[in-house]
Amino acid sequence: MAQDPSEHIAELLTSKSGAKQVTYRNICKTFKALRKEASKVIENINAKTNDKDEDIVLSVEEISDHEFHIKVAGDLLVFFLHTNIITLSGDYSYNKSDYVLENPLRKYLGQINVYNFMSDSLKYNRVNDPGYLVSRLMVNFENRFIVEGDGQINFMFESVSTKELEPTDLNVLIQLIITQAVENDLVAPPFQKIRGLTLQQKIAKTEVLGAGNKIGFQMSSQQEAE
């Protein structure tokens, strides 16, 4: 006899939807903890750079419940909390891991993305300046986490955590993100690329004016186009 559709719906609500709700609550708590740890990291860095140039600003700014910024000199790190629970594409090793295969509900993840912008992009409203994804943090209903990122970030967090997320993990992640942003310098566009300038480009203050790109954050789509 076929299963009653209402029973199937009830099962989904108590399992899949329930796991998603717990995951969302976990990622919201993580975002608040991340913001708190960001303040600690910046306070610690400021305490060690008393003789720095007064124009070198290190600060944390809360924008909303779903966004905060870390300003580190010429870099602006934008932290976004996504309100949707996601799954990773099938080719991710995470989905093929024994951890997920043992319980498929573990594949549902909340996510926080971190983008690196130039501070001047926001200061001067250069709307065409790009921001680059530095890292993303994902958490499931068991509060186990995955981190993706460039350089040391990817090296430090290679697979799903073996324990629940803790403030110390977030503190280390923030320090790695800041380091990654500061160590990557701006590279000016080639001379020939910015030789011509339209009035629209001048008004929009585009890259053609010579703003440059972060050398360490070149998107694959840019590489393919060159």
Buried b (16+ CB within 10 A) or exposed e, 7-29: eeeeeeeeeeeebbebbbebbbe
Strand stretches in the chain, DSSP E: 58-64, 67-72, 75-81, 110-118, 132-139, 145-149, 186-187, 213-214
pLDDT confidence of 215, banded at 50, 70, 90? very low
Q: How far is CA 210 from CA 43, 131, 168, in A?
A: 33, 16, 39
Tell me, what DSSP letter sits at residue 76?
E
pLDDT, position 8: 65
Q: Which of 88, 81, 43, 65 is nearest to 178 (CA)?
A: 43
Buried/exposed code over 55-85 (b: 16+ C-beta within 10 A; e: otherwise): eeebebeeeeeeebbbbbeebbbbbbbbeeb
Angle, helix 16-47 to helix 5-14, in steps of 10 degrees? 20
Phi and psi at 207, nearest 5°, equal -60, -25
Tell me what pLDDT residue 199 has: 64
Q: Where are the domains of the chain?
A: 14-185
Work out the pLDDT band at 203, boundaries 50, 70, 90. low
Q: pLDDT (tens digit, 9 = 90+) per residue, 10-34?
A: 776 677 888 999 999 999 999 999 9
122-164 pLDDT, tens digit per residue, is: 777 777 777 889 999 999 999 999 999 888 888 888 789 999 9
pTM of structure: 0.79
Q: Which residue did the predictor score with more confidence, 197 or 212?
A: 197
Say which residues have a Cβ less than 8 Å from residue 126's Cβ, sequence separation at least 6: 120, 204, 205, 206, 211
Which 3 state secondary structure label does DSSP give 185? coil
pLDDT digits (tens, 9 = 90+) for 54-106: 667 889 999 999 999 999 888 899 999 999 999 998 888 899 999 999 999 99
Query: What does the pLDDT read at residue 222?
Result: 39
- Helices vs strands, H then E, count in the chain: 9, 8
Cα–Cα nearest to 30, from 71, 82, 93, 97: 82
Can you tell me the mean pLDDT for 205-220? Answer: 48
Structure tokens at 187: 């590279």
